[in-house]
A and B are shown apart, each in its own frame.
Chain A
Protein backbone atom coordinates (compact mmCIF):
# COMPACT_ATOMS: atom_id res chain seq x y z
CA UNK A 1 0.00 0.00 0.00
CA UNK A 2 1.06 3.56 -0.66
CA UNK A 3 0.91 5.60 2.50
CA UNK A 4 2.46 8.63 4.16
CA UNK A 5 2.37 9.07 7.91
CA UNK A 6 3.00 12.30 9.74
CA UNK A 7 2.52 11.29 13.33
CA UNK A 8 2.92 14.78 14.76
CA UNK A 9 -0.41 16.56 14.51
CA UNK A 10 0.83 19.81 16.04
CA UNK A 11 4.16 21.09 17.28
CA UNK A 12 4.68 24.29 19.23
CA UNK A 13 8.11 25.77 19.87
CA UNK A 14 9.57 29.09 20.85
CA UNK A 15 11.26 31.15 18.20
CA UNK A 16 14.90 30.26 17.53
CA UNK A 17 14.47 26.68 18.59
CA UNK A 18 15.22 23.90 16.14
CA UNK A 19 12.32 21.67 15.19
CA UNK A 20 12.04 18.41 13.23
CA UNK A 21 8.93 17.27 11.42
CA UNK A 22 8.69 13.54 10.88
CA UNK A 23 7.52 11.76 7.76
CA UNK A 24 7.35 8.00 7.24
CA UNK A 25 6.23 6.49 3.98
CA UNK A 26 5.23 3.13 2.53
CA UNK A 27 5.46 2.29 -1.13
CA UNK A 28 5.65 -0.74 -3.38
CA UNK A 29 7.45 1.23 -6.09
CA UNK A 30 11.21 0.97 -6.51
CA UNK A 31 11.34 4.43 -8.03
CA UNK A 32 9.45 7.17 -6.30
CA UNK A 33 9.55 10.82 -5.35
CA UNK A 34 8.98 12.47 -2.01
CA UNK A 35 7.92 16.04 -1.43
CA UNK A 36 7.41 18.57 1.28
CA UNK A 37 4.88 21.37 0.91
CA UNK A 38 4.13 24.28 3.20
CA UNK A 39 0.64 25.66 3.72
CA UNK A 40 0.77 29.08 5.38
CA UNK A 41 -2.36 30.65 6.90
CA UNK A 42 -3.25 32.10 3.49
CA UNK A 43 -4.02 28.55 2.34
CA UNK A 44 -1.91 27.91 -0.73
CA UNK A 45 0.36 24.88 -0.95
CA UNK A 46 3.95 25.97 -1.46
CA UNK A 47 6.46 23.50 -2.84
CA UNK A 48 9.58 23.15 -0.70
CA UNK A 49 11.55 20.16 -1.93
CA UNK A 50 11.49 17.08 -4.14
CA UNK A 51 13.69 14.06 -3.52
CA UNK A 52 13.91 10.94 -5.67
CA UNK A 53 14.45 7.47 -4.32
CA UNK A 54 17.91 7.16 -5.87
CA UNK A 55 19.33 10.11 -4.02
CA UNK A 56 19.76 9.68 -0.30
CA UNK A 57 21.93 12.71 0.15
CA UNK A 58 20.67 15.10 2.74
CA UNK A 59 19.71 18.53 1.49
CA UNK A 60 20.14 21.89 3.12
CA UNK A 61 18.55 25.12 2.00
CA UNK A 62 19.20 27.97 4.36
CA UNK A 63 17.57 27.13 7.67
CA UNK A 64 15.79 24.13 6.14
CA UNK A 65 17.27 20.66 5.91
CA UNK A 66 15.92 17.29 4.92
CA UNK A 67 17.07 13.84 5.99
CA UNK A 68 16.06 11.03 3.63
CA UNK A 69 16.70 7.48 4.86
CA UNK A 70 15.46 4.59 2.76
CA UNK A 71 16.40 2.08 5.46
CA UNK A 72 13.75 3.52 7.75
CA UNK A 73 11.46 4.85 5.00
CA UNK A 74 11.67 8.31 6.45
CA UNK A 75 12.00 11.79 5.02
CA UNK A 76 12.27 14.18 7.93
CA UNK A 77 12.35 17.95 7.75
CA UNK A 78 14.28 20.15 10.16
CA UNK A 79 13.99 23.89 10.59
CA UNK A 80 16.96 25.43 12.36
CA UNK A 81 16.56 28.62 14.38
CA UNK A 82 12.83 28.73 13.74
CA UNK A 83 11.06 32.01 13.06
CA UNK A 84 7.47 33.10 13.51
CA UNK A 85 7.07 33.17 9.72
CA UNK A 86 7.70 29.44 9.68
CA UNK A 87 4.33 28.90 11.32
CA UNK A 88 2.26 26.85 8.90
CA UNK A 89 0.97 23.38 8.18
CA UNK A 90 3.62 21.21 6.57
CA UNK A 91 2.74 18.29 4.36
CA UNK A 92 4.86 15.36 3.29
CA UNK A 93 3.77 13.61 0.10
CA UNK A 94 4.73 10.64 -2.06
CA UNK A 95 4.35 10.65 -5.84
CA UNK A 96 3.19 7.24 -6.94
CA UNK A 97 3.68 5.54 -10.29
CA UNK A 98 0.37 6.97 -11.53
CA UNK A 99 1.59 10.52 -10.81
CA UNK A 100 -0.83 10.85 -7.93
CA UNK A 101 0.45 12.58 -4.82
CA UNK A 102 -0.26 10.56 -1.68
CA UNK A 103 -0.40 12.97 1.24
CA UNK A 104 0.31 12.79 4.92
CA UNK A 105 -2.15 14.35 7.32
CA UNK A 106 0.06 17.38 7.82
CA UNK A 107 1.82 18.80 10.87
CA UNK A 108 0.76 22.16 12.19
CA UNK A 109 3.81 24.07 13.32
CA UNK A 110 3.38 26.96 15.72
CA UNK A 111 6.35 29.20 16.37
CA UNK A 112 5.84 31.46 19.37
CA UNK A 113 7.70 34.76 19.60
Chain B
Protein backbone atom coordinates (compact mmCIF):
# COMPACT_ATOMS: atom_id res chain seq x y z
CA UNK B 1 0.00 0.00 0.00
CA UNK B 2 1.39 3.36 -1.01
CA UNK B 3 1.93 5.90 1.73
CA UNK B 4 1.09 9.57 1.79
CA UNK B 5 2.85 11.39 -1.01
CA UNK B 6 3.58 15.08 -1.35
CA UNK B 7 4.69 17.18 -4.26
CA UNK B 8 6.99 18.97 -4.72
CA UNK B 9 9.58 17.89 -2.21
CA UNK B 10 11.14 21.33 -2.27
CA UNK B 11 10.00 24.67 -3.63
CA UNK B 12 11.93 27.91 -3.76
CA UNK B 13 9.96 31.02 -4.68
CA UNK B 14 10.23 34.74 -4.29
CA UNK B 15 8.14 36.82 -1.98
CA UNK B 16 4.85 37.69 -3.61
CA UNK B 17 4.70 34.63 -5.82
CA UNK B 18 2.17 31.85 -5.60
CA UNK B 19 2.92 28.25 -4.71
CA UNK B 20 0.68 25.21 -4.68
CA UNK B 21 1.51 22.15 -2.64
CA UNK B 22 -0.12 18.82 -3.31
CA UNK B 23 -0.86 15.89 -1.04
CA UNK B 24 -2.10 12.44 -2.02
CA UNK B 25 -3.36 10.55 1.02
CA UNK B 26 -3.31 6.83 1.55
CA UNK B 27 -6.03 5.27 -0.56
CA UNK B 28 -9.28 4.98 1.35
CA UNK B 29 -8.35 7.48 4.03
CA UNK B 30 -11.18 9.95 4.51
CA UNK B 31 -9.28 12.23 6.83
CA UNK B 32 -6.55 14.51 5.55
CA UNK B 33 -4.52 16.95 7.62
CA UNK B 34 -2.04 19.70 6.89
CA UNK B 35 0.66 20.72 9.36
CA UNK B 36 3.69 22.92 9.03
CA UNK B 37 6.93 23.49 10.83
CA UNK B 38 8.56 26.86 10.50
CA UNK B 39 12.21 27.26 11.41
CA UNK B 40 12.89 26.79 15.10
CA UNK B 41 9.27 26.19 16.02
CA UNK B 42 7.09 23.21 16.79
CA UNK B 43 5.02 21.46 14.17
CA UNK B 44 1.63 23.18 14.05
CA UNK B 45 -1.75 22.03 12.82
CA UNK B 46 -3.21 23.91 9.87
CA UNK B 47 -6.42 22.17 8.91
CA UNK B 48 -8.36 18.93 8.67
CA UNK B 49 -10.53 17.60 5.85
CA UNK B 50 -13.09 14.86 6.17
CA UNK B 51 -13.54 13.72 2.61
CA UNK B 52 -14.00 16.97 0.67
CA UNK B 53 -15.26 19.05 3.61
CA UNK B 54 -13.16 21.23 5.84
CA UNK B 55 -13.71 19.88 9.33
CA UNK B 56 -11.38 22.28 11.10
CA UNK B 57 -9.34 25.11 9.65
CA UNK B 58 -8.56 26.84 12.91
CA UNK B 59 -4.83 26.57 12.34
CA UNK B 60 -4.71 28.38 9.02
CA UNK B 61 -2.56 31.46 9.64
CA UNK B 62 -4.37 33.91 7.36
CA UNK B 63 -6.35 34.27 4.17
CA UNK B 64 -3.27 33.93 1.99
CA UNK B 65 -3.58 30.20 2.54
CA UNK B 66 -6.22 28.24 0.66
CA UNK B 67 -6.71 24.51 0.95
CA UNK B 68 -8.93 22.38 -1.23
CA UNK B 69 -9.79 18.73 -1.53
CA UNK B 70 -11.97 18.33 -4.56
CA UNK B 71 -13.64 14.94 -4.78
CA UNK B 72 -12.28 13.90 -1.43
CA UNK B 73 -9.06 12.51 -2.85
CA UNK B 74 -5.91 14.59 -3.12
CA UNK B 75 -5.58 17.99 -1.52
CA UNK B 76 -3.83 21.19 -2.50
CA UNK B 77 -2.57 23.99 -0.32
CA UNK B 78 -2.04 27.27 -2.10
CA UNK B 79 -0.12 30.18 -0.67
CA UNK B 80 -0.84 33.46 -2.45
CA UNK B 81 1.04 35.74 -2.17
CA UNK B 82 3.87 34.04 -0.32
CA UNK B 83 5.68 35.92 2.43
CA UNK B 84 9.07 35.27 4.00
CA UNK B 85 7.52 33.89 7.19
CA UNK B 86 5.78 31.16 5.20
CA UNK B 87 9.08 29.34 4.78
CA UNK B 88 9.12 25.97 6.46
CA UNK B 89 8.19 22.35 5.96
CA UNK B 90 4.59 21.53 5.16
CA UNK B 91 3.46 18.07 6.16
CA UNK B 92 0.37 16.24 5.06
CA UNK B 93 -1.13 13.31 6.94
CA UNK B 94 -4.08 11.02 6.47
CA UNK B 95 -6.05 8.66 8.64
CA UNK B 96 -8.73 6.12 8.01
CA UNK B 97 -11.27 6.58 10.70
CA UNK B 98 -12.04 9.28 13.18
CA UNK B 99 -14.93 8.87 15.53
CA UNK B 100 -15.78 9.01 19.19
CA UNK B 101 -15.03 5.34 19.49
CA UNK B 102 -11.80 5.14 17.59
CA UNK B 103 -9.20 7.79 16.97
CA UNK B 104 -6.95 6.51 14.28
CA UNK B 105 -3.35 7.20 13.68
CA UNK B 106 -2.25 9.93 11.31
CA UNK B 107 0.30 8.77 8.75
CA UNK B 108 2.53 11.42 7.34
CA UNK B 109 4.05 12.21 4.00
CA UNK B 110 7.66 13.28 3.50
CA UNK B 111 6.80 16.96 3.61
CA UNK B 112 7.37 19.85 1.23
CA UNK B 113 10.13 22.24 2.13
CA UNK B 114 9.07 25.75 1.10
CA UNK B 115 11.64 28.51 0.90
CA UNK B 116 10.44 32.04 0.28
CA UNK B 117 13.21 34.47 -0.71
Contact = CB atoms under 8 A, between A and B. Distances in A.
B42 A105 contact: yes
B110 interface: yes
A95 B56 CA distance: 14
B108 interface: yes
B103 A101 contact: no
Interface residues of A, number: 23
A101 B45 contact: yes
> Taking each of B42, B89, B105, which has the highest tally of chain A beta carbons within 10 Å of its own beta carbon?
B42
Nearest to B3: A44
Interface in B18-56: 31, 33, 35, 42-45, 48, 55-56
Given A99-B48, A100-B56, A105-B42, A47 B107 contact: yes
A104 B109 CA distance: 19
Interface size band for B = 20 to 34
B59 interface: yes
Contacts of B91: 45
Interface string A8-46: 000000000000000000000000010101000011111
B111 interface: yes
A98 B56 contact: yes
A35 B109 CA distance: 16
B29 to A, nearest CB: 13
A50 interface: yes
Contacts of B17: none
A44 B109 contact: yes
Contact of B110 (A35, A43, A52, A105): A43
A99 B31 contact: yes
Interface of A: 33, 35, 37, 42-47, 50, 52, 91, 93, 95, 98-106
Interface of B: 31, 33, 35, 42-45, 48, 55-56, 58-59, 89, 91, 93, 98, 103, 105-111, 113
